[in-house]
Amino acid sequence: MNAKRWFALLAAVVLFVVSIGFQLISSFATANFEQMFALEDKKFDEEVIEEGVGNKIVVLHLDGVIQDTAPSTLINTTSYNHKRFLEMLDEAGKDTSVDGIILRVNTPGGGVVESAEIHDKIVEVQEEHEKPIYVSMGNTAASGGYYISAPADKVVAHPATLTGSIGVIMEGYDLSGLAEDLGIDFNTIKSGEYKDIMSFSREMTDDERDILQSMVDDMYADFVQVIVDGRGMSESSVRELGDGRVYTGKQAQENGLVDELGSMDDTIAMMKEDQGWEDAQVVTYNNALGFEQFLGMSMQSVFGENTEMHHMMEVIRESNAPRAMYLYSN
């Protein structure tokens, strides 16, 4: 490539960068700068759901698969953000103006570690800050969704909620037959016999299956114990119910997995009545529009749907590796 072509290419790159810069500057120019830097003083804005005086109840929403795979908020402002949800739960626990917390759970579950982190944070808030935590189940609160609900002081499900799915799943693919049909060979160099365990390039051995089954059994035992501790049920009862099947909210109540049937509004009313907070204010948390969130929205306005595509690719890359999940899928 001669000098003129190099110069033309450089000029094109500079023009592209400048055009992006102008769009971002335009977005900055129309923003409310006091709002833009609000996050420096306050992590979350409070949105009032019900007016009230005296006591305060915070409603936190958990929607979507529980996975710590959300990209930086610079390009993602809408999907489930594991770190942000834990921060919201921690904030509600530490805030002395908050008297009670309701978790609106609508998830098929997700990662074993992420579910355990939420569970542990709930228990921490209950023990260290002595605040009641109720769960209101949405359409689905299964597997990891039930795991995080188990320690709640009261669990409320809609009669048609799908919950339960108590268990652990680990899945992979064996594409060796397809590869053979297509004439594809795999070259694997490994340091140990089990380094490529669950590889899609070959059939799993009996030894490998035993190793993975023992891991799943250990994680299932932890799931069972979480329910035993949180619901006060016997281990034998939990194991009998925990064969992986889902239950409707009505069936779950009959089996002792949930306490009451009702909607989100019913759950709020129950907490008010149980705690004697008839006039309590009910709020939810929203992300304060700080610099990082503002820049994220500006990037979305510039790049449009490409930001969502980036997030989808991140999830695909993450899910490509076999992992144990507390997840209900059909």
- List active site positions: 143, 195
Phi, psi (degrees; rounded to nearest 5) at 66: -80, 90
- Residue 201's contacts (CB-CB under 8 Å, 6 or more residues apart) are 175, 176, 179, 186, 188
User: Which conformational region is residue 304 in: left (phi greater than 0), alpha (psi within -120 to 50 degrees), or beta?
Assistant: left
Give the separation between CA 47 and CA 206, rounded to whole angstroms: 55
- Of 267, 270, 286, the closest CA to residue 278 belongs to 270
Q: Are 157 and 138 in contact (CB under 8 A)?
A: no
Q: Are 153 and 132 in contact (CB under 8 A)?
A: yes
Q: CA 286, 292, 295: angle at the middle one, nearest 5?
A: 105
A 10 A CB-CB count for 18 gives 10
* Exposure string for 54-75, b = 16+ CB within 10 A, e = fewer: ebbbbbbbbebbbbebbbebeb
Instruction: DSSP letter for 321, please.
Output: S
Give the separation between CA 109 and CA 258, rounded to whole angstroms: 17
Radius of gyration of the chain (CA): 24
Torsion, Cα 25 29 35 37, to 10 degrees, reads 40
A 10 A CB-CB count for 253 gives 20
Helix (H, G, I), strand (E, B) or coil at 47: strand
